Amino acid sequence: MQNSGRQSRRITAAQVAEAAGVSRSAVSRAFTAGAYLDRAKREKILKVAQELGYRPNALAAGLQAAGRSDLVAIVTGDLVNHYDAEILARLVQSLRGLGKWPVVLGGHEDLREEDVLGVLGYPLDALVLRGGSVAESVALHCAKLNIPMILSGRVMSAPGVDCVCCDNARGAAMAVRALVARGRRKLGYLGGVPHLSSDQDRRTGFETALAEEGLSPAVLAHADYSFEGGYAAARDLLAGGAEIDGLFCANDAMALGVMAAARQEGGLSIPEDLSIIGFDDISMAAWPGFDLTTVRNDMDETVSQILRLLSARLEAPGKDNEVAWIEPELILRGTH
């Protein structure tokens, strides 16, 4: 009764070695690219391993050398926001291209900081944080554990922390100028969660650009970045008799909600009665029926910068921290 534990264990290199009549080291070498090993011997080992269903245990392998567990944690924003969902998909895909395995956290409203700290139990190659949802203490822990951190959509200045961020103020200014160029003068801003720096920057950009045009905001409101939130905010605005002819929304989902409310609750035509510009350029913005004018917060560029910063950091862990700015671009469609 050699191998009859009731809960059968995973096949190990030792078992493969025995079955193939070689040493354990040979088995290890067979799975290591560029290791000295007789060609025929390697092939035999690989064949036996295949039959037994052997696969080197990544946990044990990751224990060997520090700094290459190949695990990267991603803290994503709420996935009902299409922007975050699309970013996550791209991130997961390109991380695989680097040979990394993404451990995903978040994706819903209530992310517990405890979970973020918990995943640091793994010797992560890096931690990628989307949006502004997590506190300073996490950054502190990362620093102590020597885990590189990459922020997206938020800027923070700390050693070992790299950031990718859209120039939010500039994007907001582009939207304002486009609205003014259309003859709009009574402009409103519909922001998202006010304590996030991205929202603050978009709002500041909006107000500054407006001031440069000699105008002041007709309305400053905020919702929760969702379609439903945008819808409700617009309905309230309309019911309150707000006089606006143009609205800049802090993201596309809210802009779509505003459009629906303006049309259905207010009986307004867009853009004739009300111009609307969103932010992000999620794929839905281009759908016929929406055709939303928006400020593109380039997802491909964002993800590729995240990966560039990640690679650079892994190559030179002690390098200076860096901020990669994403240039916004105004996408002209039919709602402004």
Partner DNA sequence: TTGTATGCGTTATCAC
Partner DNA sequence: GTGATAACGCATACAA
Give the residue, chosen from 18, 19, 28, 308, that forms a contact with DNA under the rule CB under 7 A: 28
Task: For residues 107 and 88, give the distance between their C-alpha atoms in angstroms, rounded to a whole number.
Answer: 9
Q: What count of other Cβ atoms lies within 10 Å of the Cβ of residue 172?
A: 27
Entry field: residues in the chain: 336
The residue from 18, 52, 56, 232 that contacts DNA (CB under 7 A) is 56
Rule CB under 7 A: choose which of 38, 43, 113, 300 binds DNA.
38
CA–CA gap between residue 72 and residue 125 (Å, rounded): 5
Count of residues that interact with DNA, criterion CB under 7 A? 29
Minimum distance from CB of 319 to a copy of itself (Å)?
13
Beta bridge partners of 74: 104, 128
CB of 181 to a copy of itself, least distance (A): 27
CA 81 to each of CA 67, 134, 197, 304, 333: distance values in angstroms, whole numbers, following the listed order:
33, 17, 18, 20, 21
Cis before 148? omega within 30: no
Q: What is the 3-state secondary structure (H, E, C) of 286-335?
A: HCCCCCCCEEECCHHHHHHHHHHHHHHHHHCCCCCCCEEEECCEEECCCC
Residue from 6, 10, 144, 195 touching DNA (CB under 7 A): that is 10
* Residue 1 near DNA by CB under 7 A: no
In the bound state with a copy of itself, the residue whose beta carbon lies nearer, of 52 and 268, is: 52
Contacting residue, 43, 50, 51, 57, with DNA by CB under 7 A: 57
Report the distance separating Cα 231 and Cα 222, nearest Å. 11
Which letter, b or e, does each residue of 86-101 get, where b requires 16 or more Cβ atoms within 10 Å of its Cβ?
bbbebbbebbeeeebe
Query: Is 124 an interacting residue with respect to DNA (CB under 7 A)?
Result: no
Binding-site ranges for a copy of itself (CB under 8 A): 7-11, 52-53, 55-63, 66-67, 69, 71, 74, 78-80, 82, 85-86, 88-90, 92-93, 96, 101-108, 112, 115, 117, 119-123, 141, 143-146, 227, 231, 256-257, 259-261, 263-264, 283-284, 287-289, 317
Residue with smaller CB distance to a copy of itself, 86 or 199: 86
Using DSSP's 3-state secondary structure scheme, residue 221 falls into strand
41 binds, among DNA, a copy of itself, none (CB under 5 to 8 A by kind): DNA
**Token pair recorded at residue 241:** 């008799």
Q: How many other CB atoms are there within 10 angstroms of residue 197's CB atom?
A: 15
Q: Applying CB under 7 A, which of residues 43, 47, 51, 60 lies at the interface with DNA?
A: 60
Interaction between residue 32 and DNA (CB under 7 A)? yes
Q: Which does 314 bind (CB under 5 to 8 A by kind): a copy of itself, DNA, none?
A: none
The stretch near DNA (CB under 7 A) out of 57-65, 201-209, 283-291, 309-317 is 57-65
63/239 with CB nearer a copy of itself: 63
Closest-CA residue to 198 (of 233, 152, 134, 232): 152
C-beta of 180 vs 276, nearer to a copy of itself: 276
The conformation of residue 219, written as its DSSP 8-state character, comes to E
65 sits near DNA (criterion: CB under 7 A): yes
Residue 147 binds DNA, judged by CB under 7 A: no
List residues near DNA by CB under 7 A. Answer: 9-10, 12-14, 22-26, 28-29, 31-32, 35-38, 41, 54-57, 60-61, 63-66
